[in-house]
């Protein structure tokens, strides 16, 4: 649990919090709802977008808690990979960086993986 105040932990947590709470729940970036609606062929995906945003916000709190951090890291990696695959197939025109989003997602996955499975080991 000593890693919950690590700068990398803060970075990862911030990404989830911004995308979940600010972009989806508070709807400060309506494009997120458009992505949900496009992928799932919904007319109004507001409720589902809020639910996804709350789940992402919950992920941020789970990361900070340090509880079962390896399971958390694996789940983050799987969710990011699935989300980005679906987005790049069904809604590439709505992505901030278009198809380059996948590169940034992959880099984020590498940060999560390195942080949880390599950097923490060295700190012990």
Domain that holds residue 25: 2-123
* pLDDT of amino acid 53: 98
* pLDDT of amino acid 124: 52
Non-local CB neighbours of 17 within 8 Å, separated by 6+ positions: 56, 57, 60
* pLDDT of amino acid 3: 45
Gap between the Cα atoms of 63 and 55, Å rounded: 12
* pLDDT of amino acid 97: 86
* pLDDT of amino acid 122: 61
CB 33 within 8 A of CB 46: yes
Domains: count for the chain:
1
* pLDDT of amino acid 123: 56
* pLDDT of amino acid 109: 98
The mean pLDDT values, 10 residues at a time, for the chain of 124 residues are 71 97 97 97 97 98 95 98 96 90 96 92 58
């Amino acid at each position: 649990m000593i890693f919950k105040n690590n700068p990398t932990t803060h970075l990862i947590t911030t990404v989830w919090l911004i995308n979940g709470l600010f972009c989806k729940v508070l709807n400060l970036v309506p494009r997120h709802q458009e992505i949900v609606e496009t992928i799932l062929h919904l007319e109004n995906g507001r409720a589902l977008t809020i639910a996804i945003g709350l789940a992402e916000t919950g992920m941020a709190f789970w990361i900070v808690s340090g509880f079962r951090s390896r399971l958390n890291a694996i789940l983050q990696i799987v969710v990011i990979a699935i989300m980005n695959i679906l987005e790049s197939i069904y809604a590439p025109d709505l992505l901030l960086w278009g198809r380059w989003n996948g590169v940034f997602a992959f880099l984020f996955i590498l940060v999560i993986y390195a942080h949880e499975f390599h950097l923490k080991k060295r700190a012990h």
